[in-house]
Amino acid sequence: MATIDGDKMDIESKASDIPADQKLLELNAESKSTEDEVEEKCSDLVELMEKSEESTDEERIPILSSVLLEPENRFGPTVSSIKESAIYALARAFCGTGKYKEVVSLLTGSTCAAFFANVTKAKCAKVVRAVLDAVCSLAPTEVDMQADICRNIITWCRTEKRTFLRQRVEAKLASVLFEKREYTSALSLIDSLLTELKKLDDKQLLVETHLVETRIHHGLRNLAKAKAALTASRTAANAIYVAPNLQSSIDEMSGILHCEEGDYETAHSYFLEAFEQLDQLNDQERALPCLKYMMLCKILDSLGKALKISAKGGVGAKSNRSEVEISGMISGRQGVKYAGQDIEAMSAIASAASKRSLSEFETTTQKYEEELQKDLLIKHHLHHLHEQLLESNLIRIIEPYSCVEISHIARLIEMPIERAERKLSQMILDGKFQGILDQGKGQLIVYEEGSGDLAMEKGLDVVANMDKVVTSLFARSMALRTMMA
C-alpha cells in the first residue's frame, strides 16, 4: 500500500512539474486543430460564396440557394455567419433581377426555414429586419411588394409566436401603408399595435410608432391628432436614448406641423436642427427635403411680412417690393454639396415670390413639377402661396378704381376672364374687399370701406346679452320645477 501511494505521489508531482506555459500551448494547439476542422468543413461553402461574388445577379441566385440548402445541415458559428451573408446577398440578387415574388417568399419559404430553425431568436430577428430594410432601400417604389413581405413575415411570426419581431414588422407595415396612402388601414394597424406596446412599455418602438401615427394624421389633414401623437412620441423619447437618426425625424415632423399652423420661424428652427443632424450623418437623401423646407419657410415668412398677410390668407392692399428680403438661405458649402434641381426649383420660387410675378411662379411650378409637386408639404404651401400672390396682385390692380372692367383686370394679371371673375367673386364673399360684380356689363364695382355702424353693433350686443339672460332664467325655472315635482 505504501508503494502504491508513493507511485501516486510521484505521478502527481510530475504532473505538477509541467510548466503553465506548456499547458497553454497544448490547449491552443487543441483549439486550433478544432478550428481547422471547422474551416475544412465549411471550405466548400466559402468557395461557393467567393464564386457568387464573381457572378452576375442571375447566376448568383442558384449558387446562394445551394449554400442555404446544403444537404449536411451545418449550423456552427462560422457556417451560420456564411449563411447569413448568403441570405443578404440572395435578397439583393432577387431585387437586382426584378424577381419580387421570390423576394416575398424568401424569408418565410423553404429556403431560409432550416436556418431560422437552428439559430437563436435574436439572430433570426436581426436577419429578418436587415433583409426587410435592404429590400425597402433597393426597391423603394415597389410598395406593394414591401407590404406583401411584411404581411408574410407577420403571419409567420404569429405561427412561430415571435411577438417582439411581429410588432417591429407591423410598425414597418404601417409606414409602408402610409407610403401607399392607405391611411385608414395604416391607422387601424397603428391603434392595435399601440395598445400592445403600452402594456409592454417598449419605449423605443413607442417613439417610432407614434411618429408614424403623426405622419398618418398629417396625411389625413387632422392636425390636432397629429400634434397629440407627436407629443406622445416626444414623451416616450424623453425616457430613453434616441439615436440622431430618429431624433431628426421627430424634429422634422415638429417643423412640418408648425409650418402647417403658419409659425414659419419656429418651423425653420426645427428643420435646421433636423438638417444639421442628418448632414453630420451624411444622409443627403433625407437632409435635402429638410433644406427645401427651410427655404420654403423663409419664402413664406418673408413674403408674409411684406404683404401683411396672416397664416389664414388675409391680404394687405399696400405693400412695397423692397420689403421682401429672401437671401442667404444656404451657405456656400451647403450650396455645393446639395446643388441640383431641387435647390434650383426652390430658388426659382423665391425669385418669383420676391418679384410677386404670377406668370414666373406658374412657369416655375410647371418646369419643376417633379421637384415641387411630389412633396405634400411643399405642394400644399405652394398652392397657398399662389393664392396669396394672386389676391395681392388683384387688390393692387383694383385699388385705384371704383368701377373697372373685368376684361381689363384679366389682361393686366394675364389670366382668363372666367378665372378672374371667379376669383374676384370669391374674394368679395371672403370679405377681402367690398364690391359687386355686374355680369351684364362685365364690370367690377368697388365700394369704399366705411366705418362700421356703431348703433347696429351695440344693438347686436344688447340682443346677445338678453339671450344669455333668458337662457339662464329658463335653466333656473326648469331646476325649480324639478325640485317641486
Beta bridge partners of 404: 444
Res 315: pLDDT? 42
Res 299: pLDDT? 87
Alpha helices in 75-201 (DSSP H): 77-97, 100-106, 113-118, 121-138, 143-160, 163-179, 183-200
Res 24: pLDDT? 45
pLDDT, average across residues 231-245: 92
Say which range, 267-276, 300-309, 380-389, has the weakest mean pLDDT: 300-309
The helix or strand, by DSSP H or E, that contains position 444, with its residue range, turns out to be strand 443-446
Query: Could you tell me the pLDDT band of residue 470, with boundaries at 50, 70 and 90?
Result: very high
Kindly tell me if the per-residue pLDDT of 106 is higher than 60.
Answer: yes
Res 81: pLDDT? 85
State the sign of the Cα–Cα–Cα–Cα dihedral 102, 108, 113, 119. Answer: positive
Long-range contacts of 361-368 (CB under 8 A, 24+ apart): 361/385, 361/386, 361/389, 362/386, 368/341, 368/344
Kindly tell me if the per-residue pLDDT of 323 is higher than 70.
Answer: no
Res 21: pLDDT? 47
Res 313: pLDDT? 41
∠ CA 392-397-399, nearest 5°, is: 90
Query: Could you tell me the pLDDT band of residue 136, with boundaries at 50, 70 and 90?
Result: confident
pLDDT, average across residues 468-479: 89
State the sign of the Cα–Cα–Cα–Cα dihedral 29, 33, 38, 42. Answer: positive
Cα separations (Å) of 389 from 85, 141, 210, 314, 392? 57, 35, 37, 11, 5
How far out from the chain centre does Cα 224 lie?
18
Res 234: pLDDT? 93
pLDDT, average across residues 107-131: 84
Res 317: pLDDT? 38
DSSP string, 191-237: HHHHHHHHHHT-HHHHHHHHHHHHHHHHHTT-HHHHHHHHHHHHHHH
Say which range, 15-24, 34-43, 82-91, 430-439, has the weakest mean pLDDT: 15-24
Say which range, 161-165, 286-290, 307-311, has the weakest mean pLDDT: 307-311
Kindly tell me if the per-residue pLDDT of 248 is higher than 90.
Answer: yes
Which conformational region is residue 414 in: left (phi greater than 0), alpha (psi within -120 to 50 degrees), or beta?
Answer: left
- Tell me what percent of the residues of the chain surpass a pLDDT of 90: 20
pLDDT, average across residues 195-214: 90
Q: Give the CA-trace dihedral at 419, 422, 425, 430, to 10 degrees.
A: -100
Most confident of 228-237, 277-286, 374-383: 228-237
Res 413: pLDDT? 84
Mean pLDDT of the chain: 81
Query: Could you tell me the pLDDT band of residue 452, with boundaries at 50, 70 and 90?
Result: low
Query: Could you tell me the pLDDT band of residue 485, with boundaries at 50, 70 and 90?
Result: low
Res 60: pLDDT? 82
Phi, psi of 445 (to 5 degrees): -105, 120
Distance CA 186, CA 164 (A): 19
pLDDT, average across residues 118-122: 85
